[in-house]
A and B are shown apart, each in its own frame.
Chain A
Amino acid sequence: MENPIISIRNLNLYFEKQHVLKNINIEIPHNKVTVILGPSGCGKTTLLKTLNRLVDLHDHVKISGKIMLDDKDILVPNIDVTGIRKKMGLLSQKPSPLPMTIFNNVAYGLRINGLRGKRKLMPLVEKHLREANLWDEVKDRLRDPASRLSIGQQQRLCLARGLAVNPEIILADEPTSALDPISSTVIEQQFAELKKHYTIVMVTHVLRQARRIADHIVFMYLGEVIEQGPAREFFNNPKEQKTRDYLKGAFN
């Protein structure tokens, strides 16, 4: 692959005695939707959280290997972790807005980057809420607490909040699993739109969703990468027996 934005080399991750990620080698293409696919409990989420070093929040985690982002290894101990995280927005399974107003949720990331004053913040907050397709629903209630929004709206708010930090990459961990079908569709459509400007890495165990939006697929099973490649090839011409079984629905 030419010019992958992230390349993961020989990544191993242990949680206490448990070998969660086994010798992972992955390349993630620029400005495409890469879907990490696999049954529950195969290490997809852990892999995603290793990319922005959220695994640091946990005890007893041992990591070896390299994750190269812009030719820099982000796993070295003395790297600027907040800098890496600013390059990646995260959408989690269950949306978790910050305990503040709708406006301040989006403005949070802008303020972290040093922007101050409502006159400067307002147009950007509007821009990102539009990017997340939420503006029309919340423009009259920006002062309301974010917790009053519906779950679907909260997830789009989290997307807007992530975009406000101006990332290059959007990490999404089963972002539609808690949402109703309509909100899910909206999120998927936004991803198709956003991939013009962002690289998207999405974890899912829903095969149909992967078929709908993936450009590139990484298939994982029990902590190992079984197969990876362009989505069309993966679905039409899988190389591994495990992949064929999975696509046939032999296991979930």
Chain B
Amino acid sequence: MRKLLKTLEERFFFVLMAGSTAFLALLLLMIITIIVYKGLPSLTWEMVSQTPKGGYYFGREGGLLNAIIGSLYLASGAVALSLSISLPLALAMNVYFRNRKKLVNGIRFILDLLWGIPSIVYGAFGFTIMIYLGIRASLLAGIITVSIFILPIMVRAMDEVMKNVPLSLLESAFSLGSTRREVAFKVVTRQCFPGIITAVLLAFGRGIGDVAAVLFTTGYTDNIPTSLMDQTATLPLAVFFQLGSPIPEVQNRAYAAALILTVIILAISVATRLLSRKFHKTSIK
């Protein structure tokens, strides 16, 4: 009887695990199928190589190059800006303030709070600051807003990896007479490189896919931005606007835009993973 129960229990959890894995795979498959099925017919060379022409929003000629370039500019700029703050912060938390647990846990708590704030609030915050400083909606304002929005994501993702650097590794690095800066940048950064890449990727994905943070701050334009002060189109907004159109062709183009966005994220994800594999082999397990 006991044995039968054990077998049943074993079986139940197996089915549960297999079921949830299958469900997740199915969900992903469905999302991809829908955007491919609806978007692919509208995804012409014109879509990715031209900016919108006069009749574009009525289903006529033109493409979304403005939004593709705009999104790439915005996300790369925001990731670069955010990285230049979050890497030093994560290193400080785990190397410089190694012996100040209370302080570090305080920072973690604040970052977790910031992570929980919805992106529309960051958008509104950015908008308020813009008005206060008298800046118009622009690529720069968008980059700053998005970089603030992805900052806690990046720091906490790096922090989680750096927390797990073995104490013995830090001890041996310090015992060689390294300064804290050398331990941080030569040892911990190297050891955590794959994790740092993952953090950047996660932040990039969130940054490029978000609508609310850029809604008020970057504006929207049919032109490719030529300076940081120009208004900038982004792919998520392009999806949003086109999906709201009553014209079926335009609606389908929204799916095409979503497909482009997905492909960009996928391409960058694969590229960075290949890059991080190169460094992974020297990491100490």
- A: residues with CB less than 8 A from B are 49, 52, 54, 56-59, 61, 82-83, 85-86, 88-90, 92-94, 96-101, 108-109, 112-113, 145-147, 158, 161-162, 165, 171
Q: Which of A56, A57, A88, A96 contacts B166 (CB 8 A)?
A: A96
Report if A94-B99 is in contact (Cβ < 8 Å); known contacts: A85-B176, A147-B282, A165-B176: no
19 residue pairs bridging A and B, Cβ less than 8 Å apart: A57-B171, A59-B99, A83-B177, A90-B172, A90-B175, A92-B171, A94-B168, A98-B173, A108-B186, A109-B176, A112-B177, A113-B177, A146-B284, A147-B282, A147-B284, A147-B285, A158-B172, A162-B176, A165-B176
Complex alpha-carbon distance, A162 and B177, angstroms: 10
Complex alpha-carbon distance, A82 and B182, angstroms: 11
Contact A162 B175 (CB under 8 A): yes
Complex alpha-carbon distance, A92 and B282, angstroms: 20
Q: Chain B residue with minimal CB distance to A82? A: B177
At the interface, yes or no: B277 with Cβ under 8 Å from chain A?
A: no
At the interface, yes or no: B170 with Cβ under 8 Å from chain A?
A: yes
Query: Interface digits, B182-201 against A, CB 8 Å rule (1 contact, 0 not)?
Result: 10001100110000000000
Q: Chain A residue with minimal CB distance to B104? A: A59
Contact A112 B178 (CB under 8 A): yes
Q: Chain B residue with minimal CB distance to A54? A: B171
Residue of B168, B177, B281, B285 with most chain A CB atoms under a 10 A cut-off: B177
Contact A54 B174 (CB under 8 A): yes
Contact B172 A100 (CB under 8 A): no
Nearest Cβ in chain A — how far from B110, in angstroms?
Answer: 20
Contact A59 B172 (CB under 8 A): no
At the interface, yes or no: B133 with Cβ under 8 Å from chain A?
A: no
Contact B176 A147 (CB under 8 A): no
Nearest Cβ in chain B — how far from A193, in angstroms?
Answer: 21
At the interface, yes or no: B179 with Cβ under 8 Å from chain A?
A: yes
Complex alpha-carbon distance, A92 and B284, angstroms: 15
Residues of A within 8 A of B99 (CB): 56-59, 61
Interface size for chain B: under 10, 10 to 19, 20 to 34, or 35 or more residues?
A: 20 to 34
Contact B101 A59 (CB under 8 A): yes
Contact B178 A82 (CB under 8 A): yes
At the interface, yes or no: B26 with Cβ under 8 Å from chain A?
A: no
Residues of B within 8 A of A101 (CB): 282
Complex alpha-carbon distance, A57 and B169, angstroms: 12
Residues of B within 8 A of A97 (CB): 172, 284
Report if A112-B187 is in contact (Cβ < 8 Å); known contacts: A57-B171, A90-B171, A90-B172: no
Complex alpha-carbon distance, A109 and B187, angstroms: 12
Residue of B100, B167, B284 with most chain A CB atoms under a 10 A cut-off: B284
Q: Chain B residue with minimal CB distance to A145? A: B282
Nearest Cβ in chain A — how far from B226, in angstroms?
Answer: 42
Nearest Cβ in chain B — how far from A82, in angstroms?
Answer: 5
At the interface, yes or no: B49 with Cβ under 8 Å from chain A?
A: no
Contact B281 A145 (CB under 8 A): yes
Report if A100-B168 is in contact (Cβ < 8 Å); known contacts: A54-B175, A162-B175: no
Residues of B within 8 A of A58 (CB): 99
Known: A57-B170, A88-B175, A89-B175. 11 other contacts (CB 8 A): A57-B98, A57-B174, A59-B99, A61-B99, A98-B169, A98-B187, A99-B169, A108-B176, A112-B177, A145-B282, A165-B176
Report if A92-B190 is in contact (Cβ < 8 Å); known contacts: A54-B175, A56-B99: no
Q: Chain A residue with minimal CB distance to B173? A: A98
Q: Which of B98, B171, B174, B190 contacts A100 (CB 8 A)?
A: B190
Contact A86 B285 (CB under 8 A): no
At the interface, yes or no: B283 with Cβ under 8 Å from chain A?
A: yes
Residues of A within 8 A of B186 (CB): 108
Q: Which of B178, B182, B283 contacts A147 (CB 8 A)?
A: B283
Query: Interface digits, B146-188 against A, CB 8 Å rule (1 contact, 0 not)?
Result: 0000000000000000000011111111111111001000110
Q: Chain B residue with minimal CB distance to A108? A: B176
Q: Chain B residue with minimal CB distance to A158? A: B172
Complex alpha-carbon distance, A85 and B173, angstroms: 10
Q: Which of B98, B168, B174, B283 contacts A99 (CB 8 A)?
A: B283
Complex alpha-carbon distance, A96 and B175, angstroms: 12
Contact B284 A85 (CB under 8 A): no
Nearest Cβ in chain B — how far from A53, in angstroms?
Answer: 9
Q: Which of A49, A94, A165 contacts B177 (CB 8 A)?
A: A165
Q: Which of A82, A92, A112 contacts B172 (CB 8 A)?
A: A92
Complex alpha-carbon distance, A94 and B166, angstroms: 11
Q: Chain B residue with minimal CB distance to A86? A: B177
